[in-house]
Homo-oligomer: A and B are copies of this chain.
Amino acid sequence: MPSVPRKPDPTRRSERSRQAILEATRELISEVGYAKLSVEAIAARAGVGKQTIYRWWRSKGAVVFDSFLALSEGVDGMALPDTGDIEADLKAVIRATVAEFADPTFEAPIRALNLEIASDPDLAAQYREKLAGPVDEAKKERLRSAQRAGQIAADADLDLALELLYAPLYQRWLLRSGPLTPEYADAVVDHVLRALRP
């Protein structure tokens, strides 16, 4: 049999390019914000051609959402802790969210992205599909476990439960309408659990 010349492994090369693109995206969004971010700049920073990016993602927004998802090692990394104590677990998670919102290096790119989402219905739809939807699903998994344990009403509306937990922090952060403290996080969780009690 004729010897076959060794070719580079395309799968491994692809994964390296993918990681470089996601990293470049996160760097650039912190440096220039979402509005000024361009696919050209991402390609240049990542050392790939623009067409490589468009082969995997249909838009700038899609790359950005994947770059945020990759930070948490995908949706699996977004799963909430489950110690069996829903109150303790939610307080830990909501306190962490409050701390992220209070951190300028974290909140700046998220703010830029939120302004863009709020003014662009197409981007909002992509955001739901690529990022918010899967993340919410992971959070609801924890609430379902609390339902099975009898800590939350079996017929609770879990989408509304997530909104009651997260929207107050979101609004306070976005409009800078009040302090984001651990005590505030705990108060929100206490109220929402009271509303969801079986």
A: residues with CB less than 8 A from B are 111, 114-115, 117-119, 121, 124-125, 127-128, 132, 157, 159-160, 163-164, 166-168, 170-172, 174-178, 184, 187-188, 191-192, 194-197
Which B residue's beta carbon lies closest to that of A166?
A: B171
Assess the B191–A164 pair: CB atoms within 8 A: yes
CB distance from A160 to the nearest CB of B (A): 6
In the bound complex, residues from chain B placing their C-beta under 8 Å from that of A192 are: 164, 191, 195
Residues of chain B lying within 8 A (CB to CB) of residue A114: 118, 175
Contacts of A196 in B (CB 8 A): 191
When C-beta atoms are compared, the residue in chain B nearest to A159 turns out to be: B178
Partner of A175, one of B118, B172, B191, B195: B118
Sample of 29 A–B contacts (CB below 8 Å): A111-B118, A114-B118, A114-B175, A115-B118, A115-B119, A117-B175, A118-B174, A121-B176, A124-B175, A128-B177, A157-B187, A159-B178, A160-B184, A160-B187, A160-B188, A160-B191, A163-B167, A163-B171, A163-B172, A164-B164, A166-B171, A167-B167, A167-B168, A171-B171, A174-B174, A191-B196, A194-B195, A194-B197, A195-B195
